[in-house]
Structure 1
Amino acid sequence: MIIQSFDVSAHLDDEETIRAYLSAALEDPNPDAFLLALGNVAKARGMTQLAEAAGVGRQSLYKALVPGAHPRYDTVLKLISALGLKLAVQGTRAA
């Protein structure tokens, strides 16, 4: 029996799925979860195209999205913007 690895990026084929996936990753307390998710979305959209749209080098994009990386905040914002998304803050309880 041959077991193939699961490629998440193959299933990130519409905007709603991408938003839900990234939102779920942001809820994980491990920051690597979000970097991994963002990397999967970048792969689904095309690394080269996303790097160009974000104004970052392709190799820099790969390095920024590996678990354990510590990308600059402005790099993450450029990627989010290039994906046509924005980060938002929500309350978790009544004030």
Structure 2
Amino acid sequence: MIVLKENDPALLAAARGVTEIAKSSGLTREAPYKSLRPDAQPRFDTVAKVFRALGVRARAEAG
């Protein structure tokens, strides 16, 4: 997903629509806005819910 490569949370929100992300993830409408702010430190479960709502799969690898 190009939006994630650009590392711009505003693009991520605009790509799908915050209301739709919130509805699909079971979060309040404000939660994605707060989580995607540049200075935010969202909880892992919030990020996981947003990723699921967007159909994004994350993979971690040891470096």
Answer whether TM exceeds 0.5 for this pair.
yes
5+ residue gaps, structure 1, are 1-18, 26-32
Q: Which has the larger radius of gyration?
A: 1
Q: Distance in 1 between matches of 2:31 and 2:3?
A: 23
Matched, 1:77 2:48: yes
Matched, 1:21 2:21: no
5+ residue gaps, structure 2, are none
* Equivalence for 2:58: 87
1:1-95 map, 5 Å: 19-22=1-4, 24-25=5-6, 33=7, 37-90=8-61
**How many residues are matched?**
63
TM-score (ref. length: structure 2): 0.80
